[in-house]
Structure 1
Amino acid sequence: MLKEQDIMAVLPARDVARARDFYGNVLGLDPPLVMDEENLIYRSGNGTSFLVYKTDNAGSAKNTQMGWESSDIEGDVAALRERGVVFEEYDFPGVETSDGIASTPVGKAAWFLDSEGNILNLFQRA
């Protein structure tokens, strides 16, 4: 049953207005579908979407929560930096970034935090 259904990522936000500003003005996403003052749905490529919802638990996860596939990660990282996005630098077994981008056997990746402390990423397949 589920294999035929659309998937929607879900991201927590302590401050939904601040998150709306980040996703719209910093990342450049189209205005969201506003379900109510505590729930926003953003659309992205190929019919994908994600929900931003109000909760005090935002920013508590220590793992990547959502990502976008990229065909030009260096260009996308540069463009997002121009918009004020700060990319994380990591150095641990299996992942070491250089100028914000890690090269792995399966591709390249870059991570950044949204306004709520959620870990997001870009990924370009090898």
Structure 2
Amino acid sequence: MIGDHTPVTTLGVSDLQRARDFYEGTLGFAPGTEMMDQGITYQSGSGAFFVYTSEFAGTNKATAMMFEVPGDAFDAEIATLRAKGVTFDTFEAEGTEWNDGVASMGEGEAVFRSVWFADPDGNILNLGSGMN
């Protein structure tokens, strides 16, 4: 059954080297399997994502990939991204409070924090905290 298999997120990019510079240099992923100079796989936690050249790169306007980190590691991850020059996007969303590009949703013990940012082709990536 399809639900028994781990999905692999795929992100279309227009320039594979520029994407590699971002995913490896800025975000710190180690390169994995390369596919005939057309794409590369990166491991992330127990999953993976595939970055490949596509004529449709940057056309998705929704979140393409999310990374969930434990709540106690969230601030350190955000600081690392900022130090690498990553800027966070904000938008209108009911029930969301923004503080310096970081969204907070929920109340009391059930607060979820999150940031959104884009790769060089405009693929929207999200980093979210566990509930804390």
Report the TM-score when normalising by structure 1. 0.91
Q: SS at the partner of 1:92?
A: coil
After TM superposition, the structure 1 = structure 2 runs for residues 16-95 of structure 1, keeping only pairs within 5 Å, are: 16-46=16-46, 48-71=47-70, 72-95=73-96
Moved more, 91-100 or 54-63: 91-100
Counterpart-to-counterpart distance in 2, 1:62 and 1:93: 19
1:13 aligns with 13
Which 5+ residue runs of structure 2 have no aligned equivalent?
none
8 A Cα contact 1:90 1:96, kept in partner: no
- Runs of 4+ with >2 A deviation: 89-97
**Distance in structure 2 (CA, Å) of the matches to 1:27 and 1:20:** 10
Query: What's the Cα RMSD here?
Result: 1.4
Could you tell me how far apart the structure 1 residues matched to 2:67 and 2:56 are? 23
User: How many residues in Structure 1 have an aligned counterpart in Structure 2?
Assistant: 125
Residue deviations 1:84-114, cap 9 Å, x none?
1111122332434211111112611100001
Q: Following the alignment from structure 2 to structure 1, what is the Cα–Cα distance between the partners of residues 3 and 90?
A: 36
Which structure: larger Rg?
2
- TM superposition shift of 1:30: 0.6
In structure 2, distance between residues paired with 1:120 and 1:34:
22
1:41 Cα deviation (Å)?
0.7
8 A contact 2:34–2:41 mirrored in 1: yes
Residue 19 of structure 1 and its aligned partner are, at CA, apart by 0.4
Task: Check the 8 A contact 1:89/1:96 in 2, yes or no.
Answer: no
Whether contact under 8 Å (2:31, 2:40) holds in the other structure is no
**Other-structure match for 2:125:** 120
Consecutive unaligned residues in structure 1, runs of 5 or more: none
- Range 99-108 or range 12-21, more displaced: 99-108
User: TM-score scaled by structure 2?
Assistant: 0.87
What CA deviation, in whole Å up to 9, does each residue of 1:63-92 have, x standing for no partner? 110011112222211111101111112233
SS of alignment partner, residue 91 of structure 1: coil
Shift in Å at residue 29 of structure 1? 0.4
